[in-house]
């Protein structure tokens, strides 16, 4: 095979990496290069330096070191039996690319993953080498996210956390049966074992930092994972349940959902369809309900239908409210914060504003209107100084009054 140019390999290896949803560059320790010889900074909030027409943020240089892989996971474009073009970068090439992009302010840092070559440990060593050169030789203070290979030597995984801001291991599929069928070379206990030891290392390092100022930082932005949605038979209820177990057991910062999308030269085991983007969106909304709105996992599951699927036409919060109408209306002038957070159409910011404003005066419907995007959606669920929904809350056609009527065949709804 003739040697491909850096440009051609970048095309192959960025294309091969794009099915990983995460691009976050937030929540890590604050650093800058003032007074140093290095380059870069992280200031807590992540920055999206561009957006692609798929609506996804481009924050990090997200590439694979190589897309050669000894594994044969059916959903993956890089699986051994796929006919895709193969390429690889040397660690130094990745370092040079990262730095030249970073200096031009294209990116916040690097998200590096890889196909498995030779062995899991060998691959992990290569990934770590990139991070080591960036941190030690170039004093790079930008963001580094390393994908960790669960089958690799735990010693190496521990080393990765010392250089990286975030480490992640993908659980890939929400059910063990799905994993066995679609990722026959991976094992659920091994993945969870590796996530467990990462969690321990993160907690230990945090603890050490409390006692010793100079203890090394270990993955200060924590660990995350990704689940593919729509490749196996798991229901939304299954997925929400699995995600909450993962959050609970492994202290994850984020669980990412990735709608299974068609890939070139796909495996015959997975018939290709349009990706279920709306389903993915509803799962993220349910994730938000659990993380910021105080919903317990079983409550989100209550919003799902008898088939275990969240409705696609309305958001899960509204679905929950329509199912538990007895909890409404909520008095904006009296109700505790937790109750206000359950009102469809009121976000965390709006609730905070209401709680602050009602200390100053009794809120009327118009006042609430100023603090929210759409008062029509909120109105049936609240009581204000001059407003009481009377029968509205109990109307059977309530959904059609507040949710936009079934829009003309939106393609992604039928994905």
Partner 1 sequence: MTPFRSMRLPEAFRITLSAPDDFEGWRDAARRMIRADVPPDRITWESPADQSADLFAQGDRRLPAQPADAPQPRASRDFLQLAQSVILHSDSTRFSLLYRMLWRLQSRPRLMEDKADADVRAMEDLARNVRRDIHKMRAFVRFRVIESEAGDHYVAWFEPDHHILRANAGFFVRRFTTMHWSILTPRGTLHWDGEVLQEGPPATRADAPSGDPVEALWRKYYASTFNPARLKIGAMLKEMPRRYWKNMPETALIPELIAGAQAREAQMVKAGEQDFGEQPQSLAAIAEAILACRRCEMGCNGTRAVMGEGPQGAALMIVGEQPGDTEEAQGKPFVGPAGQLLRAHLQNAGIDMEQAYVTNAVKHFKFVPRGKHRLHQNPTAKEIDICRWWLDGERALVRPRLVLALGASAARSLLGKTVSVQKVRGEPQVLADGSELWITTHPSYLLRLEDQSRAEEEAKFANDLRKVSTRLSELSGRISTEG
List the interface residues with partner 1, window 322-361 (CB under 8 A).
Answer: 353-354, 356-357, 359-361
C-beta of 99 vs 201, nearer to partner 1:
99
Please pick, from the candidates 230, 367, 377, 381, the single residue that binds partner 1 as defined by CB under 8 A. Answer: 367
Nearest to 52 by CA among 43, 62, 42, 44: 62
Residue 43 C-alpha from the chain's centroid: 20
Please pick, from the candidates 131, 263, 303, 383, the single residue that binds partner 1 as defined by CB under 8 A. Answer: 263
What is the Cα–Cα distance from 75 to 246, expressed in whole angstroms? 22
**From its phi and psi, is residue 36 left (phi > 0), alpha (psi between -120 and 50) or beta?**
beta
Inter-CA distances, 21 with 25, 137, 178, 181, Å? 13, 29, 19, 22
Closest approach, Cβ 353 to partner 1, in A, equals: 4
Number of residues in contact with partner 1, rule: CB under 8 A?
84
Q: Does 385 bind partner 1 (CB under 8 A)?
A: no
Please pick, from the candidates 90, 92, 137, 177, the single residue that binds partner 1 as defined by CB under 8 A. Answer: 177
Q: Does 11 bind partner 1 (CB under 8 A)?
A: yes
User: Cis omega before residue 329 (within 30°)?
Assistant: yes
Q: Does 72 bind partner 1 (CB under 8 A)?
A: yes
Is residue 89 a contact partner of residue 63, using CB atoms and an 8 Å limit? yes
Span interacting with partner 1, options 96-104, 205-213, 298-306, 334-342, rule CB under 8 A? 96-104
Please pick, from the candidates 24, 110, 156, 182, the single residue that binds partner 1 as defined by CB under 8 A. Answer: 182
What is the Cα–Cα distance from 190 to 198, expressed in whole angstroms? 12
Is residue 401 a contact partner of residue 380, using CB atoms and an 8 Å limit? yes
Please pick, from the candidates 48, 117, 215, 312, the single residue that binds partner 1 as defined by CB under 8 A. Answer: 48
Q: Does 74 bind partner 1 (CB under 8 A)?
A: yes
C-beta of 87 vs 156, nearer to partner 1:
87
Closest approach, Cβ 394 to partner 1, in A, equals: 28
Span interacting with partner 1, options 241-249, 262-270, 373-381, 394-402, rule CB under 8 A? 262-270
C-beta of 205 vs 368, nearer to partner 1:
368
Task: Find the DSSP H helices in 153-295.
Answer: 154-163, 176-182, 188-211, 236-250, 277-292
Nearest to 276 by CA among 347, 224, 227: 227
- Residues 289-328 interacting with partner 1 (rule: CB under 8 A): none
Q: Does 68 bind partner 1 (CB under 8 A)?
A: no
Is residue 382 a contact partner of residue 331, using CB atoms and an 8 Å limit? yes
């Amino acid at each position: 095979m003739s040697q491909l140019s850096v440009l051609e390999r970048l095309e192959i290896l960025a294309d091969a990496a794009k099915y990983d949803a995460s691009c976050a560059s937030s929540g890590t320790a604050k650093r800058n290069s003032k007074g140093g010889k290095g380059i870069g900074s992280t200031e807590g909030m992540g920055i999206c330096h561009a957006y692609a027409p798929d609506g996804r943020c481009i924050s990090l240089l997200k590439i694979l070191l190589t897309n050669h892989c000894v594994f044969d996971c059916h959903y993956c474009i890089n699986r051994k039996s796929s006919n895709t073009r193969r390429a690889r970068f040397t660690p130094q090439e990745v370092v040079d690319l990262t730095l030249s992009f970073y200096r031009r302010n294209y990116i916040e840092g690097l998200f590096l993953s890889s196909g498995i070559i030779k062995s899991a440990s060998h691959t992990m060593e290569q990934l770590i080498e990139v991070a080591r050169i960036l941190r030690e030789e170039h004093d790079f203070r930008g963001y580094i996210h390393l994908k960790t290979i669960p089958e690799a030597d735990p010693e190496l995984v521990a080393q990765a956390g010392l250089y990286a801001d975030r480490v992640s291991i993908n659980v890939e599929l929400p059910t063990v049966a799905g994993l066995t069928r679609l990722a026959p070379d991976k094992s659920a206990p091994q993945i969870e074992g590796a996530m467990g030891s990462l969690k321990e290392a993160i907690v230990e390092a945090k603890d050490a930092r409390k006692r010793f100022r100079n203890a090394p930082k270990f993955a200060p932005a924590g660990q995350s994972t990704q689940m593919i949605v729509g490749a196996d038979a798991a229901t939304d209820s299954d997925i929400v349940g699995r995600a909450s177990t993962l959050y609970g057991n492994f202290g994850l910062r984020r669980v990412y959902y990735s709608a299974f999308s068609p890939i070139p030269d796909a495996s015959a085991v997975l018939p290709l369809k349009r990706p279920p983007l709306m389903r993915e969106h509803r799962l993220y909304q349910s994730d938000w309900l659990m993380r910021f709105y105080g919903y317990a996992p079983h409550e989100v599951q209550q919003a799902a239908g008898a088939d275990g699927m969240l409705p696609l036409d309305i958001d899960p919060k509204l679905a929950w409210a329509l199912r538990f109408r007895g909890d409404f209306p909520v008095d904006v002038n009296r109700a505790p914060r937790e109750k206000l957070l359950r009102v469809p159409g009121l976000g965390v910011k709006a609730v905070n504003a209401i709680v602050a404003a009602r200390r100053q005066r009794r809120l009327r419907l118009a006042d609430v209107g100023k603090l929210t995007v759409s008062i029509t959606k909120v109105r049936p669920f609240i009581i204000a100084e001059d407003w009481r929904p009377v029968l509205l809350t109990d109307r059977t056609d309530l959904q059609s009054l507040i949710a936009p009527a079934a829009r003309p065949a939106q393609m992604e709804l039928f994905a």
